[in-house]
């Protein structure tokens, strides 16, 4: 009967928590924020990809710790708010905090190493991020932000497609144990 005390222990031990070299998460997040803030000056194509969101999802899923994902998402979101001139501080912070928490929770439950699962995960989290952003903007600022448009669908597909090779590159930054 002792084996029944913790029936989920065996399934939880099959999912590996990834470690990174010191400063890797901070440097990658900083580069994503800088690129997101300054690439839009070189064309509208750069607005198709939300690099800070991709970094939040990747490290949330990889680290598999909801508190770490929450703090990382909140920090990246607040800094993205500070660098963007279009939004008041807090909108991206709220949305990315929730996405970071959920990405870490999902990463702790399922294996997300396959490219198809990564594509689907980013696609779903992109739309969830947009829904949280739109609800927050409607409730707090009384601005009608759309929940879904064809432009958002294109953005989500491009971001998810870009995330697959980006995540494979970021996998190389892991510390071997």
* Higher-scoring residue by pLDDT: 16, 169: 169
Mean pLDDT of 153-166: 96
User: So what's the pLDDT on residue 4?
Assistant: 40
Q: Tens digits of per-residue pLDDT, 4-61? A: 444 444 444 456 777 888 899 999 999 999 998 888 777 777 778 999 999 999 999 9
| 8 A C-beta contact, residue 95 and residue 132 | yes
Q: What is the mean pLDDT of the chain?
A: 87
Report which DSSP code applies to 40: G
The reported pLDDT for the residue numbered 136 is: 93
Mean pLDDT along residues 63-88: 91
Which fold would CATH assign to domain 16-171? Arp2/3 complex 21 kDa subunit ARPC3 (1.10.1760)
Kindly state the tokens that stand for 56. 């939040």
Query: Across the strands, what pairs with 20?
Result: 174
Tokens for 7, please give them. 């029936």
Indicate whether 177 pLDDT > 90: no
- Residue (of 150, 87, 97) closest to 125 by Cα position: 97
Phi, psi of 174 (to 5 degrees): -70, 150
If one counts every other C-beta atom within 10 angstroms of the C-beta of residue 88, the result is 12
Crossing angle of helices 51-63/24-38, nearest 10°? 160
Contact 97, 90 (CB under 8 A): no
pTM summary value = 0.87
Q: Concatenate the DSSP letters of all residues of 65-91 into one string.
A: -HHHHHHHHHHHHHHHHHH-SSS-TTH
Residue 3 has pLDDT above 50, yes or no: no
Looking at the chain, the whole-number percentage of residues with pLDDT higher than 70 is: 90
Q: How far is CA 173 from the centre of its chain?
A: 17
- For 22, phi then psi, to 5°, come to -55, 130
Spans of all domains in the chain? 16-171
Is the confidence at residue 1, as pLDDT, over 80? no
pLDDT bracket for residue 109 (50, 70, 90): confident
Which of the four pLDDT bands, split at 50, 70 and 90, describes residue 148? Answer: confident
Comparing CA positions, the residue from 82, 81, 132, 125 lying closest to residue 107 is 125
């Amino acid at each position: 009967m002792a084996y029944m005390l913790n029936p989920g222990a065996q399934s939880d031990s099959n999912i590996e928590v990834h470690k990174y070299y010191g400063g890797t998460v901070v440097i990658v997040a900083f580069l994503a924020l800088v690129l997101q803030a300054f690439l839009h000056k070189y064309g509208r194509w750069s607005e198709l990809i939300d690099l800070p969101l991709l970094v939040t999802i990747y490290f949330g899923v990889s680290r598999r710790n909801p508190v770490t994902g929450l703090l990382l998402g909140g920090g990246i979101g607040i800094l993205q708010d500070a660098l963007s001139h279009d939004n008041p501080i807090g909108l991206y912070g709220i949305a990315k905090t929730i996405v970071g928490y959920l990405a870490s929770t999902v990463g702790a439950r399922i294996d997300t190493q396959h490219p198809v699962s990564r594509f689907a995960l980013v696609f779903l989290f992109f739309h969830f991020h947009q829904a949280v952003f739109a609800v927050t903007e409607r409730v707090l600022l009384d601005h009608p932000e759309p929940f879904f448009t064809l432009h958002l669908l294109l953005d989500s597909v491009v971001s998810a497609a870009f995330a697959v090779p980006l995540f494979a590159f970021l996998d190389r930054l892991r510390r071997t144990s």
